Chains A and B, each alone.
Chain A
């Protein structure tokens, strides 16, 4: 089990992993299973990174893991344990509600073919070809084509279809029409394979089972420990500096934000000026706002779906989706069966994408007022789906990009790491500073929960290769 602080460390480790997000945790677990000695350091007191939760009154609020593709089952089974993967359950009530269409779907291939042909009038041949093309995309494919071009090719000028295809993916990985088509296609076809899934038992159980598994595999897990420097000596990464201590290791994996890793944790000169400049130019992805609502114990709400993609905007508009004047919200509704054996609780999390800049410059009074406005708007929006919701809610709380920054330390509170150009930096870091690796949300396709965990596995493999026999 994770221990707070740095007491009784070993003399040296094969690998130090900086950060306990899903990528860092999976990388650490994998390395330990390959027989390596691993120390994992997490700055927060809780593991999970953005895969996190918090308790208020009698409620547990899940910040993320509201829905992931079925591939997560395989990933958890292969790289964690059957005990963890067996708890994954499907969410069948996915709803869309916007001025262009209202529909309910299981969000899988079969149902989407039905919707796209019957409801939206596309030809079956076109739809099947679209599925085939997106399914065959790989992350090492051509990046020149954008999602917009992909959509235009298959469904020219059909902004209603574009919205259906794009909106959930924008929530899943922050990508937009102007990002590379492969960043859309890979994530979309991951979901389309069988639908949307989540972890029964909640994020708290999910992360605590991972913590136990790490312990069983011998990973030394420390929380509440902020790494301030990665030590590079003779061109190679040889450890980290954290909590006033120097910790020796034969390799270092950073699961921190890519820009923080290269620009803040490394001394100037540890990488080439060109590499540094390229890293500076990497754009971070957007952040999020969330409104958490807990239903009073004893009160019930009817089943209205598990995930509701709602919008009042006339058309899909990526810029508008980031605006502080929120028009698009995803409601994730947690019913009591999500935590079997627990008390009968309902919680609702409303998520919207957001820009850090919009929230950063506010005075304390303005910030408070803007949060109150967001809470009020969200309650009003929820009334449409749960009439009388306002009277049933006994806890309401707002998180903004500033909140995400405070807890994760991500640059600009980024919810989905960096844009596509980050992938090259992340992958080439070991060439600049041998022994130093990065795993984490990069390039959108390595984002989303499945991508983050899988990237951890890929990097563990590279580290193991580096460490040799």
Chain B
């Protein structure tokens, strides 16, 4: 999967979790939580969906890596590029 593909995958997951949020204007370098109504449980949903959909395990200590779109893509790329 490319960086773009990962970005798309993350957007799809967030859209499923928060169907009423408009994600078009998400700034990639700002945290999700300051831009959309994403609470800690929604965040865990993202982690759970990554596991269900792509068999990616994100340990708790790595959660901060999923704060922004840019950091998420950077963190997930080595784990997902072979998918």
Residue among B17, B41, B52, B60 making CB contact with A454, cutoff 8 Å: B41
Q: Is the CB of B42 within 8 A of A140?
A: no
Q: Does A75 contact B (CB under 8 A)?
A: yes
Given contacts A78-B17, A140-B60, contact A461 B39 (CB under 8 A): no
A78 B51 Cβ-Cβ under 8 A? no
Q: A140-B60, A454-B41 are in contact. Are A461 and B51 (CB under 8 A)?
A: yes
Would A75 and B41 count as touching, CB distance under 8 A? yes
Whether B41 pairs with A71 at a CB distance below 8 angstroms is yes
B40 to A458, Cβ gap below 8 A?
no
A301 to chain B: which residues have CB within 8 Å?
Answer: none
**Which residues 12-58 of B sit at the A interface, judged by CB distance below 8 A?**
17, 39-42, 44-45, 48, 51-52
- What is the size category of the interface that chain B forms with chain A? 10 to 19
Contacts of B40 in A (CB 8 A): 138-139, 186
Please provide the chain A residues from 46 to 89 with a CB less than 8 Å away from any CB of chain B in the complex.
71, 74-75, 78
In the bound complex, what is the Cα–Cα distance between A71 and B44 (angstroms)? 14
Is B45's CB under 8 angstroms from A78's CB? yes
Distance in angstroms from B32 CB to nearest chain A CB is 14
CB contact between A461 and one of B42, B48, B60 (< 8 Å): that residue: B48
The answer to whether A34 and B41 touch across the interface, beta carbons within 8 angstroms, is no
Interface presence of A465 (CB below 8 A): yes
Tell me what chain B mostly uses at the interface: helix, strand, loop, or mixed: helix
Main secondary structure of the interface of A (DSSP, over half): helix
A458-B60 in contact (CB<8A): no
**Neighbouring A residues of B48 by C-beta, 8 Å:** 457, 461
Q: Please, which residue of chain A has its CB at the minimum distance from the CB of B17?
A: A78
Closest to B57 in A: A465
> How far is it, in angstroms, between the C-alpha of A280 and the C-alpha of B81 when the chains are bound?
47
Q: Give the number of residues in A that approach B within 8 Å (Cβ atoms).
A: 15
A74 to B42 alpha-carbon distance, docked (Å): 9
Minimal beta-carbon separation of A458 from chain B (angstroms): 6
Are A71 and B51 neighbours in the complex by a CB distance under 8 Å?
no
> What is the bound-complex CA distance between A448 and B67, given in angstroms?
27
A139 to B48, alpha carbons, bound, how many Å? 17
Residue pair B45, A71 in contact (C-beta under 8 Å): no
The distance in angstroms between the C-alpha atoms of A235 and B52, with both chains bound, is: 27
Say how far B62's CB is from chain A's closest CB, in angstroms: 12
Please measure, in the bound complex, the distance between the C-alpha atom of A138 and the C-alpha atom of B52, giving whole angstroms.
Answer: 24
CB distance from B68 to the nearest CB of A (A): 16
How far is B40's CA from A454's CA once the two chains are assembled, in angstroms? Answer: 10
Q: Chain A residues near B60: list those with CB within 8 A.
A: 140
B17 near A71 with CB under 8 A, answer no
Interface string of A157-192 (1 = CB under 8 A from B): 000000000000000000000000000001000000
> Closest residue of chain B to A458, judged by CB?
B44
- Assess whether A34 is in contact with B17, with CB atoms less than 8 Å apart: no
| Contact call B41/A465, Cβ cutoff below 8 A | no
Minimum CB distance partner of A30 in chain B: B48
A465-B17 in contact (CB<8A): no
Contact at B39–A71, with CB atoms within 8 Å?
yes
A186 contacts which chain B residues (CB < 8 A)? 40
CA A454 – CA B45 in complex, angstroms?
10
User: Which residue of chain A lies nearest to B43 when distances are taken between CB atoms in the complex?
Assistant: A138
In the bound complex, CA of A140 to CA of B42 (Å): 16
Q: Which residues of A contact B39 (CB under 8 A)?
A: 71, 74
Residues of A within 8 A of B45 (CB): 78
B20 smallest CB distance to A (angstroms):
10
Chain B residues positioned under 8 Å from A139 (CB to CB): 40
**CB-CB contacts below 8 Å: A126-169 with B:** 138-140
Min CB–CB distance A23 → chain B (angstroms): 14
Query: Which of A74, A454, A458 counts the most chain B CB atoms within 10 A?
Result: A74
Q: Could you say which residues of chain A place their CB within 8 Å of the CB of B41?
A: 71, 74-75, 454, 457
Contact A465 B51, CB 8 Å, known A78-B17, A140-B60: yes
CA distance A138 to B63 in the complex (A): 12
Residues of B within 8 A of A140 (CB): 60
- Taking the closest CB of chain A, its distance from the CB of B40, in whole angstroms, is 6
Cα A71 to Cα B42 with chains together (Å):
10
Tell me which residues across on chain A come within 8 A of B44, comparing CB atoms.
Answer: 457-458, 461
30-54 of chain A: CB within 8 A of chain B: 34
Contact with B along A424-452 (1 / 0, CB 8 A): 00000000000000000000000000000
Q: A140-B60, A464-B52, A465-B51 are in contact. List 6 more A-B contacts (CB 8 A).
A: A34-B52, A71-B41, A78-B17, A78-B45, A457-B41, A457-B44
8 contacts between A and B (CB under 8 A): A34-B52, A74-B39, A75-B41, A139-B40, A140-B60, A457-B41, A461-B48, A461-B51
Chain B contact residues, CB within 8 Å of chain A:
17, 39-42, 44-45, 48, 51-52, 60
